[in-house]
């Protein structure tokens, strides 16, 4: 979950808000690039769903399909790190995600490929 959150934060900084303006322009030049950006929304939705599941007082799992459609299915993120590194890969710098224990101490770094 921490690695997924890291990617979401880095993608946010790359594509939106305080992002790389030149890259923003390039990412909106065609459907393929726009789909890559939209796929990152699936990653963010997955993290939100998992956090709701974790912090819900009912402890009921939120049943929700998370697909992206555009005439056909473009993607479905299921939370695997290999998906982040392959299907949902995004161009951003600082690929080292810090992993913390329950007390907030850094225990390792994972470099997203």
Contact residues for 65 (Cβ-Cβ < 8 A; gap 6+): 76
What was the pLDDT predicted at 113?
A: 83
pTM for the model stands at 0.77
C-alpha 76: how far from chain center = 12
Separation CA 80–CA 36 (nearest Å):
17
| CB-based contact 93:87 (threshold 8 Å) | no
Q: Count CB neighbours of 4 within 10 A.
A: 22
pLDDT value at residue 74: 67
pLDDT band with cut points at 50, 70 and 90 for residue 71: low
* pLDDT of 102 over the 90 cut: yes
Specify the pLDDT at position 72: 62
Where would I find the H helices in the chain? 2-15, 21-27, 31-55, 81-85
- pLDDT given for residue 26 in this prediction: 74
Helix, strand or coil for residue 43? helix
Domain ranges of the chain: 2-111
């Amino acid at each position: 979950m921490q690695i997924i959150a890291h990617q979401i934060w880095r993608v946010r900084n790359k594509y939106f808000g305080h992002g790389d303006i030149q890259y923003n322009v390039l990412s909106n030049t065609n459907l393929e690039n726009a789909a890559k950006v939209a796929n990152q929304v699936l990653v963010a939705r997955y993290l939100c769903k998992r956090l709701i599941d974790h912090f819900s007082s009912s402890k009921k799992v939120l049943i929700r399909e998370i697909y992206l459609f555009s005439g056909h299915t473009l993607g479905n993120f299921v939370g695997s790190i290999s998906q982040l590194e392959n299907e949902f890969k995004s161009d951003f710098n600082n690929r080292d995600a810090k992993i913390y224990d329950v007390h907030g101490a850094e225990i390792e770094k994972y470099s997203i490929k």
